[in-house]
Every structure is written in C-alpha cells, then in structure tokens.
Structure 1
Amino acid sequence: MVEDMKGKIRVFCRIRPMNRSEAAQGGATVVAKLDDYSINVATPRGSREFQFDRVFSAEATQEDLFHDTNRLIQSVIDGYNVCIFAYGQTGSGKTFTMVGDKDQKNPGLMPRSFNTIFNVLQENSPKFYFKVSAYMLELYNDRLQDLLVSQGGEAQAQTHLHGQAKRVEIKRNRKGVVFAQGAETKQASSAQELYALFQQACANRHISATKMNVESSRSHLIVGIMVESRNLTNGNVCTGKLSLVDLAGSERAAKTGAKDHQLKEANSINKSLSALGDVISALSAELPHVPYRNSKLTQVMQDSLGGNAKTLMIVNISPSECNLDETITSLIYATRVKAITNNAQRNVESKEIAQLKEVIMKLKSGQTVDEGDV
C-alpha cells in the first residue's frame, strides 16, 4: 500500500557523522534530528525546520536505511520502474550510502539491492521465469562512458576497428522509459555475478582526492538493472527497471582546492547539477516546459523525475557549521523534489504480445521462425 501511494517522490534525509577535518576546524554541529520526519538547522538568522519522508541521524546504520528502502525492490519485480538516487555536496556521504565502504564491511544500497533482487526471485521461482540484465555507466565531463567496457583493451580495440569508441546515447521508448543505446548490457544469474559486474564498473570509475574528500567521485554513476519475469501460468511478461544513481557532489573550488583537470571536472559536475536543479524547480512549480534536454544527466533521469518511475531521493548532508550554506542548498532542493508527482505504471504484456516481440527479434536477427512461434 505504501509503495502504491500516488506518485509522490519520496525523499529521505541522511545526516552523516562529523568527520576529522570538520572536527579539526572546531565547527559546531548545526543540524539536529527532531524526530523520524523532521530536522532543525541552526543558521545565523535563526533555526530552520525541514520535513521529509524519513530522517536518519548520524547513528543510523546502512541496515537501517535499507530496511526502509527495500520494499521498492519488490516493485521492480512486479514490473515497475524504480529510481533511487543520492544527492548532496561533495563529501556528504553519497557514495557510502549507495556503494558502501571500500572493504564492503558496510555495503550500501546498491550491493544490498542485488542480494534482495535474487532473494525475491528465488522465492518466486516456482511460479515465474526470470531474466536479469544490467548496464553500468558514468557521466564524466558531460560524456557517457560504459563502465562494463574496460577503458584499456576493449575500448582501444573498438577504436581501432571503428575509428572511434562505441558511443552511448540516452533514448526513450514509446512508454517513456529511458534506456542507454549502445551500452554493453550483461546478464547475471546470481547476486554474486551482478556484484562482480558492479565491482568491474567501480574499478573503471573516475575518482581523485580533494581537500573535501579522500576519494571524491568525479562522475555520476548510473546503474540500470532490468528484471524480466514471465508468469508460468498465463504467460504474461513484466519488465521492471531499477535505476541506482550515485551523483557526484556539488563543490566550490575554494573549498576543495581543485585545479587544472579537477577544476574542469568540478565545473562539469556543477553544470549538470545546476541543470538537474532547473528540472526540479520546473516540475515542482508545474511549469509547462521542463528543460530535460539541457544536460545528459537530466536526460538519464527523465523517467525518474516527472516520469513513470517510483522514485526515492536520499539527500545526504554534513552536520557541521562550516558546510552550512551547502547543507541548506541541498535541503531546499530536496524539499522541491518532494513536491514532484510521477505517474508510475506497471510494464506488463500479454503472452501473445510477448511472443510476437520474440518473433520480430528473431526475424531482425535473420533467424528462421517456426509456425509454432506465430
């Protein structure tokens, strides 16, 4: 019932613990969790209160956060599009929330989702046939890169064969579902296989050290997981898509110490997040035109914001006074997102339509079609 509430995008707020750098600066804690749904921020002009669908304090564990998130995984298997994305300034804990720590002692939402998908599929295997596939991309300097194609050998081989690396483009199908044309899509038959693909993707992702973060994400990470289920009783086919997005953080060069190529990366990140902010503002104000085409990031998220997906935004914030401006900005954006309504629709096809699509695919690939297929 909770997951089928009419299209409002849910927003969780996660306050990370004070880090060493903030403690060394002697900054006071200015963010306080009031209850499970509201926080208070102390500013020079007085306190400001913000309300969200859930608030997680610095003491909250990865398990606590996932406990309130994993019901969305069932929606994917039921044939809905679902998007979970993390938002916040650089160093606010987005990658920890989505991916987890380096040795995976505290795995984030992404690896936990992989396990839950296959646990649910295993429980339903007597009644359904399932197929799981995934693509993994990063948006780096406003260019989409396929993280399942190694940037060394395979990419170079493609360059020599075709004169340029395979281009990935964002497209939408007739139902408004976003897909990555040209991206390598690989099947996985277990959570371990899916996690191995994810590790490969993370190894290819751009990161570097800044004054704000030892391992700062220099790109937006986009993981798409497609789950196709065929009902063994009536032959109906459902197709759900889970989009997991770890956004790079907004940053100010004066704080991060970014120079040269890092400065170029930061400018690209800020530009795409600014475009995302414009889309959020237009949707929350119900404007007739929504500027999705201003950035590849907003094109990637077009079915997640104002589209046909069940969407959860996790806004990650620092509790420290030294990050007050960025924290307030993030909370204002998150409040606007709460006002956006999506039209989540189930992707289900009858047995006959599913068979017809299979026949068309066979014909396109030059295979022969038996009379029994038609």
Structure 2
Amino acid sequence: VSAYMLELYNDQLQDLLAPPAADGAGGGRRVEIKRTRRGVVFAQGAETREASSAQELYALFQQASAQRHISATKMNVESSRSHLIVCVLVESRNLTNGSLSTGKLSLVDLDGSERAAKTGAKDHQLREANSINKSLSALGDVISALSAELPHVPYRNSKLTQVMQDSLGGDAKTLMIVTVSPSETSLDETLTSLV
C-alpha cells in the first residue's frame, strides 16, 4: 500500500508529502497530471510513500493535512483554502502465478463553494475563493456531461477534473458526500452544493 497526497491551491498542485523547500513553503517539485495507457491518472513528481499498516497510512494523512492552506473567514475559523486529493495505491501479487493486481482509491475533500460577501474574503482570500468556485463549476460541468452521456466530457477545463478523471468516468465507482448546514442563512450554499 502506498499513497500520495496533493493540494489543489489556486489552480496549482502542491505535494503535501514533499519535504519543505528552503523558504519553508511546500515541496519545490513540480507535480503534473499524467495518464497511463490504461487511463489511470497519476501525479508525476509527487512524493509517494509506502504504508505497512492503517496507522502508518493515517500518520501520512495527518502529516499532509497539517500542510494545507487554511485561514480564518467570517464563516469559519479554520477554512481550508484548497481541495485535498489523497490517492491510495494498492498492489497485490499472486504468489502462485506471479500476476500483479493494482487498485486505486481516490479520496477528494472538496473545499466548499463560497460567497465572498458572507466570508468577508478580500485580496488573496478572494483569489482563493474564485479558484475554488471555478474548479467546482468545472466539476459540475463534467458530472452533467457524464450524466447526459455526452460524447465530449470537459475534463481538461480544470486541474481538479483532470486529476479526478479516472474516478468519475469509465468503470469507476464514485460516491459523493455533501456536507450541508441546517442553518437557513446557508440555504444558498446548500442548494448550490446539492445541485
């Protein structure tokens, strides 16, 4: 079992497991989205770490989560400012015939759709919110195209949809959990998320 963990921040993929650069920022390596001949998406340049137990995998997750961009807004004291992408890769070798089986589990924590007036976002927070909302719109376009069985699915419109391509189309199994607020003041965000 191995994993890589990325953050999509302001439309840039950042490796959350890479050692910090000299300036204290996240890993300096460039991460690019690539696909194998079989259509499996992978992050070229991302640090991939092996885990021999659930505890080791959880420790990697905690390490990566601590590197995410967060800041306070009027709606949330610790608002994530990015999408988190965790890919768990599983390889199994048949000891009888030597054949190799592989699997991939992608866990994607999408940042919420925000209304700048409610969050009080300005300057860099406003740029972050615009980037988040743009990628969520692109994801909505992909889901709509897949649902309508259109001949063209616009995966390339966002890095988010590119990295999620093998999790959404083909024979992938996808489960989306939408967390919504029961508060009437969040009704617009709730409806947008559900749509």
| TM-score normalised to structure 1 length | 0.50
The answer to whether 1:245 aligns with 2:108 is: yes
Whole-angstrom distance in 2 between the partners of 1:215 and 1:155 = 20
Say what the alpha-carbon RMSD is for the aligned residues: 1.7
Q: CA deviation at 1:324?
A: 1.5
The answer to whether 1:166 aligns with 2:35 is: no
Identity of aligned residues (%): 83
Note if contact 1:219-1:247 (Cα within 8 Å) is conserved in structure 2: yes
The answer to whether 1:145 aligns with 2:8 is: no
Q: CA deviation at 1:237?
A: 1.4
Question: Of 287, 300, 308, which residue of structure 1 is paired with 2:150?
Answer: 287
Q: What runs of 5+ residues in structure 2 fail to find an aligned partner?
A: none
Higher relative contact order (CA 8 A, sep 6+): 1
Note if contact 1:227-1:239 (Cα within 8 Å) is conserved in structure 2: yes
Question: Of 225, 230, 233, which residue of structure 1 is paired with 2:96?
Answer: 233
Deviations 1:313-343 (A, max 9, x none): 11111112111222122222xxxxxxxxxxx
Question: SS at 1:212's partner residue?
Answer: coil
Note if contact 1:282-1:290 (Cα within 8 Å) is conserved in structure 2: yes
Note if contact 1:150-1:204 (Cα within 8 Å) is conserved in structure 2: no
| TM-score normalised to structure 2 length | 0.93
Q: CA deviation at 1:287?
A: 1.4
Note if contact 2:73-2:121 (Cα within 8 Å) is conserved in structure 1: yes
Q: CA deviation at 1:153?
A: 3.8
Question: SS at 2:37's partner residue?
Answer: coil
Aligned to 1:134: 3
Note if contact 1:177-1:308 (Cα within 8 Å) is conserved in structure 2: no
Deviations 1:16-40 (A, max 9, x none): xxxxxxxxxxxxxxxxxxxxxxxxx
Q: CA deviation at 1:146?
A: 0.3
Deviations 1:102-139 (A, max 9, x none): xxxxxxxxxxxxxxxxxxxxxxxxxxxxxx11100000
Whole-angstrom distance in 2 between the partners of 1:154 and 1:212 = 31
Whole-angstrom distance in 1 between the partners of 2:176 and 2:185 = 24
Deviations 1:278-307 (A, max 9, x none): 111111112111111010001011111123
Q: CA deviation at 1:155?
A: 7.5
